[in-house]
Amino acid sequence: MELRGVTKEYPGGVQALAGIDLGIERGELLAIVGPSGSGKSTLLHIVGTLDRPTSGAVHLAGHDVASLGDRRLSALRAQHIGFVFQAFHLAPGATARDNVADGLLYTGRPRSVRRRMAAEALERVGLADRMDHRPHQLSGGQKQRVAIARAVVGAPDLLLADEPTGALDTASGEAVMRLLHDLNADGATIAVITHDTEIADSLPRQVRIRDGRVVADTVRTADAKAGVSAC
């Protein structure tokens, strides 16, 4: 994913993004961090191709997003990007397995294959014993694990996690962050969008957003002590 000179303006002259340059390389684990109103949610929508910029270039997996129609862009998004949201967005009447399998609805795979892949994804996030549970039978941390399984079941190139611990208690939030680290160690590329500086400090790369601009982009060196980073 690469953004060059990206701006986003809304009616009334409101400028949410003001010239963003950002690249995300395969295998990275990074935080996009900023306070409320900084533009990070707008940036999430642009990176996730859920919205188009007012100006600037967005490239996903070698494709120029501006050159794609809505249908082609939707297909590209489904193939390359997985989303995890704070509110889980699970279907209340469906089991964990079926919630995850629904993430593959538009792939053309038979239902039996989707359910098998869903079971494998749930095993990967530590919920092999909760496959037939419905959301009301799961804790907050378990619901977020189901949401993560749904996001990764199709092996997307990029996982976008929007405040993934925001609705969780401390212990559950720490468990979810450990899971994201584990998924990254297995090869997943993950961007965590957050206002939580502790979460941002725990990740190898931090991209700080303020007033619609990138004000810092730091990478922790391999031998850095805790709290020390290098540009």
In order of their start, the domains of the chain are 2-219 (3.40.50.300)
The predicted-structure confidence for 95-127, as pLDDT tens digits, reads as follows 999 999 998 887 788 999 999 999 999 999 999
The predicted-structure confidence for 45-84, as pLDDT tens digits, reads as follows 999 999 999 999 999 988 999 999 998 998 888 889 999 9
- Note the pLDDT of residue 105: 83
- Collapse the DSSP code of 133 into the 3-class scheme (helix H, G, I; strand E, B; otherwise coil) and give the result: coil
Stretch among 38-42, 97-101, 226-230 having the lowest mean pLDDT: 226-230
Tell me the helices (H) and strands (E) count for the chain, helix number first: 7, 10
Distance between first and last Cα of the chain: 20
- Which residue carries 């190139």 as its tokens? 157
CA distance 54 to 35: 23
Dump strand ranges (E) for the chain: 2-10, 14-23, 29-33, 55-60, 63-64, 81-85, 158-162, 190-194, 205-210, 213-219
The model's pTM is 0.88
The predicted-structure confidence for 155-164, as pLDDT tens digits, reads as follows 898 999 999 9
The predicted-structure confidence for 145-180, as pLDDT tens digits, reads as follows 999 999 999 889 899 999 999 889 999 999 999 999
* Residue percentage of the chain with pLDDT more than 70: 95
Residue 140 near residue 168 (C-beta atoms within 8 A): yes
- Count CB-CB contacts under 10 A for residue 111: 11
Please report which confidence band the pLDDT of residue 185 belongs to, taking 50, 70 and 90 as the band edges. very high
Cα separation values, 94 from 102, 132, 218, Å: 10, 9, 41
CA distance 164 to 157: 18
Residue 195 near residue 164 (C-beta atoms within 8 A): no
Q: Residues near 178 by Cβ (< 8 Å), separated by ≥ 6?
A: none
Mean pLDDT on 171-199: 93
Q: Which two tokens stand for residue 109?
A: 């795979």
- Note the pLDDT of residue 64: 94
